[in-house]
Every structure is written in C-alpha cells, then in structure tokens.
Structure 1
Amino acid sequence: MAGAVLGPASAGTVVLYSSNNVETVNGVVDQFTKENPDIKVSVVRAGTGALMQRIKAEAANPLGDIFWSGGLSTIGEFRDQLAPYVSAQASAVPSAYRGPDGLWLGTNTHVTVLMTNVRQAPAAQPPRTWTELADPKWKGKVVIPDPERSSASFVALYGLRSLLGQEVLDGIARNAVIVGTTSAAYESVAKGEFAVAVTMEYAAYEYVAGGLKDIRIVYPAEGTFLSPEGMALIKGGKNPAEARKLYEFLASKSVQTKVFQSAYRRPLREDIDVSSLSDLPALSSIKVVRLDDARMGSERAAFIAQWRRTISAR
C-alpha cells in the first residue's frame, strides 16, 4: 500500500520511497524521527520496479528524496536517476555492493535456501542438494514461486541453471508445483502442504525463530545465491540534507542490526555478525555462487520464455 505525499515537501521533510514491508519501514521511521524530531518523514511504499519507474517518470520534477531498499540489479538499471553520495560508513560494505561514485550502497542480502517441513519430506529427511529435487520421489512435494512474478525466485532458478545446467532445472520443474507469489510458497510449507520451498532465508527463519519445530533451513551443498539490496539518493531531490541524514541512519550498524533482529534481513555490513545474534550461519560460511547481475538482467526475458516452455511441456 502506497502512502500519498500531499503537496510539495517543505524544509525539514524527507520523502522516502521504500519497497520494504510496513512493519520494517514504520519501525525505522519511528526511530529516526525520535532521534531527529525536526525532520518529518513522508513514506511512499510500492514494489521496487514500480518505484524506480516512478522515480524515472518524475525526473524533471523529483518528488522523492531517497529510495530504500531494492535489488541492486534493478537499482543499477536506473542509475541516471540517482545522485552520487559516498557515505562515511560505506567502507563497512564490500566494494561489490557499492555503486560507482557512490550511486548506491548495499544494505542487506537475501540468501536463497530450501525451506523444508520434515514431516512432509520422504523418510523425514530434508534434501541436502539441489540435484536431489530432480528425483521423482520429490514429485508434487516441491513448491516454487513463479519466476516471472517473484524476483527472488528468478534469481534462484537462473542461478540454478547457471550452476547445474538446464537438465537439472527441468527435472526440478517437473516435480514442482508453481505458485504466484513468494509468500504462497513458504507459507504452504509452514502449513505442511508441501515438503520443500525454494525461498529466501529470512522468510524461512521467521518460522524457525518462532518455534515451528518441523521447519529446517537447507543451504544446498552445490552452493546458493544472493539477492543483494541497497539504497540510493534520488537525483534532484528537494531535501538533500535531510535525505543524507536519513541515508546515514539507514546505513548505520545499530539500525541494520535492529532491522535484522526484527525482520531477519541479513546485513551486508561486514561488522555485523548475524551468527552472534541468531542461529543463522555467518555469510562467510555459506557456499555462495556469484552471479553477474548485468548478464542476469539482459537474459531475463529469454530465461522466462524457456521456463514457460519447460512448464508447459510437463
């Protein structure tokens, strides 16, 4: 749900465009305004793609000041609408997640995982690998979000094909039930309707942290994939000083720690050890397969077309 910005923003106001969920945004904004009572934050919420298109459409008369947060591959496609800014805290984030000339800064990353309900798994054994899911014993037990609608699923399946090839991906697709949204996949595993979901770490961990004993998180042995997210200042924003203050707040170790503790969004800052704050492993201990964001973006349409052919041929 998007909140309307009424009239031009005045001094002491910052307009935040965000694709984060309501609870996360509200928690951060409440804390920021407590610490900065002279600044009002107006929030517009929508999906990353929609917000970036809005920023582009408003380029001649920007109505937003700062965007937080969405996939770095998507943000990078709209670099002409972004303002360079090098935060003093940027050095805490690996250079791979920092935009050229400070056009964006990575904040957190999603990790692709297999969320398993052991009650529904064959012999109550979670899978250890991607390849196992192509075995006929998993037919009808695996749920995958439609990669055309879910960016996280697209990253997972594109990465899976890059890592293990089309044949393995086709085998998994033959066994899978495809659903329309990311949440429909992990919620159905939590309810015991399926054994395995291809999903994001934070979503699965919410159930583990909530005490659901049947849920396991599997990082496949062949490797897994990251979907890094970040933030950026909007070029020509009318409140640059206030926007930079909010940017520094969002980049801070304390705020990113709190966001992880409340929403399990894994920070990209290297000075935050999530393994000391939760039962999740440190990122350095996870086998990560790096993907080329630019190539992934350019090949998206062809990948989706091939995916449709695979699904229709089942």
Structure 2
Amino acid sequence: MLRLLPKLCLFLIFAGRLAQACAGEVVLYSSNNVETVNQVVDQFTKENPDIKVSVVRAGTGALMQRIKAEAANPLGDIFWSGGLSTIGEFRDQFQPHESAQAAAIPPAYRGPNGLWLGTNVHVTVLMANLRQTPGGQPPGGWADLADPKWKGKIVIPDPERSSASFVALYGLQKLLGNEVLAKVARNAVIVGTTSAAYEGVAKGEFAVVVTMEYAAYEYVAGGLKEIKLVYPAEGTFLSPEGMALIKGAKHPQEARRLYEFLAAGKTQIEVFKSAYRRPLRTDIDVSRLAELPALSSIKVVALDDARMGTERAAFIAQWRQSVNAR
C-alpha cells in the first residue's frame, strides 16, 4: 500500500491539473454595479463549478465601443446589461440566441431572432423628501415641477451624462411640450451624476429628484419614512435593459449557460431582492416582493427608442439653452 502512495499522489495531481485545464471560462462585460455583479457571479459559480467567470465592468457606452473595437478578436463573451436602445445601435456586434427563458419576456423586449433579451426595466419616478417639500406635500406629476414654488428645490442629473435623466426629460418634452420643459429647467439644480441627485434628496439638500425607481426605493426599504416615490399622474417612462451574446466569442457554450442563468426567474428575483432592479419577466410580480406597484398598474407613456436616439443631440442642445437662459 505504501508503495502505491507516490503513484496515487501523482495521479491525483495529474487529474487535478487535467480538470483545471478542462474547466470552462466565460468573460462577462457588465455595466451593473459591483454588488449586483458579484452576487450573480458567486451564485453562478456555485451552481456551475466547472466554469470560471471573469468580469469587466464599465459604463454601457464604453463597453459597446470596446466590443466594437474588439470585433476582429473578441475578448468578451456576453454583455449584461444595458439599455435596449443602445444594444440595438450595436446589433452587428451580437450573436443571436433562442433562449429557453424568452417566452417569459414580452415580445417588445426581445431582439429579432433572439439577438438580445430584456432583463429588467427602470421606471422613472419623482423621489420626494417630505421634510423639504412645501407643506410636506410631494408633487403629483410633471406639470407641478413647472410651478415657481419648486425653484431651487428640484435636482436633476445632467441628461448628457445620465441616460435615465435623458429619457425622463425627453419624455417630459414629448408629453407636455417645450414650454413646460423650459419652466422645469428654470426651477432645477443640475448635477453631474445620477447618484449625486438622489443622494441629495435623501440627505435633505433638495426636495425632489427625477430619478429611477430602484434608486429611490432603496431609501424607502432602508427605513427613511420621509422619502416618497411619486409615479407622475400624467404617466411615466420606461428604460428597459437587456443582455446579448457577443459575436465570435471564444467561449460560446459557457456564455450561453451564463445567459440562461441570468435570464432565469430565480436569478432575477434575487437581483430584485438585493438591488430592486424590476424584472421584465411577466411571471414575476414585484408587488408581492416589495412595497412597489405591479408594472401593469403604472401609467406608462411609450417612447420611440429609435427616434429618441436620432433626436438626442438636438434635445441636449435645446436643454442646454433652457438651462443657460435661467
């Protein structure tokens, strides 16, 4: 038996190295925050110990440009997640995949021939700090923000830097016109980042911010009773996000396994519980998981993503003019 030990040890070392050499790998490009990405990757590797996940994090725009620049020699395998309008602009860089989970996603959020798949949606809301609002009352809708009583009390992220702010203000213009938009611009304080805006309201520096549902709800869930989410009476706007497989990826099989994991209901429920990213799956009712309304009960104003993209530069120029005219 003792004579066999060296051979057994050599065999185990060889088997371990062979298993390591045969282990799969997948490179994930993601614009999600560190906590959300780490949570998902940890769970995936627990369920798929034969696959190593490497993560590259950056903004959606930067990652799209990187994927395009690497087209001849892709270094990433899968992108998760960014605005569907942005993914659509770079559709030539992605590989179709007919997901087993696709049936749970409304057709409007699926790419042609499975080119991308919607994962979650940001709902535009007004986040109000009732300790700072006039009379302790939040605004009821977009038109209220044009009232002079809100001057200096509204904070809005720069729409040139914040895609969520751009969607909200572009939608506001389409819904109520240039005059109301200009009045809102005159009342608002403009800041450089989305986080600086909603953090300013949470700290009581401002009364109201135009922001995303998940960011505002974190404070409600955290116990700040003075924070209230307002879904504007005139209607609000959606910013759907999704994922896609990178064309010519070096690890296509592993990428498809990660894709299916990210699309699965249990994964999206866990992401919602930790980060309040509202799933697009029709079989998940977030009103049963948190004190948020079901998506079907929210008045939504549809926006044309393609038109919004082509009109972006002109809108930003107009917004700048309105802000400078104050």
TM over 0.5: same fold?
Answer: yes
Structure having the larger proportion of residues in helix: 2
Alignment of 1:227 onto 2:239: yes
- Aligned pairs (5 A) from 1:248-263: 248-263=260-275
Hey, what's the Cα distance between the residues in 1 that align with 2:260 and 2:100?
Answer: 8
Alignment of 1:19 onto 2:31: yes
* Corresponding residue of 2:134: 122
Cα distance per residue 1:232-278 (max 9 Å; x no partner): 00000000000000000000000000000000000000000000000
* Corresponding residue of 2:306: 294
Hey, what's the Cα distance between the residues in 1 that align with 2:188 and 2:321?
Answer: 15
- The percentage of aligned residue pairs carrying the same residue is 82
Cα distance per residue 1:58-108 (max 9 Å; x no partner): 000000000000000100000000000010110100000000011100000
In our comparison, the structure showing a higher alpha carbon Rg is 2
* Corresponding residue of 1:3: none
- Aligned pairs (5 A) from 1:37-76: 37-76=49-88
Hey, what's the Cα distance between the residues in 2 that align with 1:100 and 1:214?
Answer: 44
Q: Over aligned residues, Cα RMSD in angstroms?
A: 0.9
* Corresponding residue of 2:187: 175
- Aligned pairs (5 A) from 1:62-101: 62-101=74-113
* Corresponding residue of 2:252: 240
**How much does 1:129 deviate?**
1.1
Alignment of 1:137 onto 2:149: yes
Hey, what's the Cα distance between the residues in 1 that align with 2:141 and 2:99?
Answer: 39
Alignment of 1:166 onto 2:205: no
**How much does 1:11 deviate?**
5.6
User: Contact 1:13/1:40 (CA < 8 Å) preserved in 2?
Assistant: yes
Aligned letter for 2:122? H
- Aligned pairs (5 A) from 1:145-224: 145-224=157-236
Hey, what's the Cα distance between the residues in 2 that align with 1:140 and 1:301?
Answer: 26
Q: 3-state SS of the aligned residue for 1:87?
A: coil
Alignment of 1:282 onto 2:272: no
**How much does 1:291 deviate?**
0.4
Any unmatched runs of 5+ in structure 1? 1-8
Aligned letter for 1:158? Y
Runs of 4+ in 1 over 2 A off after TM superposition: none
Hey, what's the Cα distance between the residues in 1 that align with 2:219 and 2:210?
Answer: 15
Hey, what's the Cα distance between the residues in 2 that align with 1:63 and 1:262?
Answer: 29
Hey, what's the Cα distance between the residues in 2 that align with 1:147 and 1:213?
Answer: 29
Any unmatched runs of 5+ in structure 2? 1-20
Aligned letter for 2:260? E
User: Contact 1:223/1:289 (CA < 8 Å) preserved in 2?
Assistant: yes
**How much does 1:305 deviate?**
0.6
Hey, what's the Cα distance between the residues in 2 that align with 1:246 and 1:10?
Answer: 18
User: Contact 1:104/1:231 (CA < 8 Å) preserved in 2?
Assistant: yes
Aligned letter for 1:71? G
User: Contact 1:146/1:180 (CA < 8 Å) preserved in 2?
Assistant: yes
Q: 3-state SS of the aligned residue for 1:27?
A: helix
TM-score normalised to structure 1 length: 0.97
Cα distance per residue 1:205-251 (max 9 Å; x no partner): 00000000100000000000000000000000000000000000000
Hey, what's the Cα distance between the residues in 2 that align with 1:245 and 1:170?
Answer: 48
Hey, what's the Cα distance between the residues in 2 that align with 1:31 and 1:88?
Answer: 20
Aligned letter for 1:151? S
User: Contact 1:11/1:239 (CA < 8 Å) preserved in 2?
Assistant: no
Aligned letter for 1:70? G
User: Contact 2:23/2:50 (CA < 8 Å) preserved in 1?
Assistant: no
Hey, what's the Cα distance between the residues in 2 that align with 1:192 and 1:309?
Answer: 29
Cα distance per residue 1:158-177 (max 9 Å; x no partner): 00001111111111111000
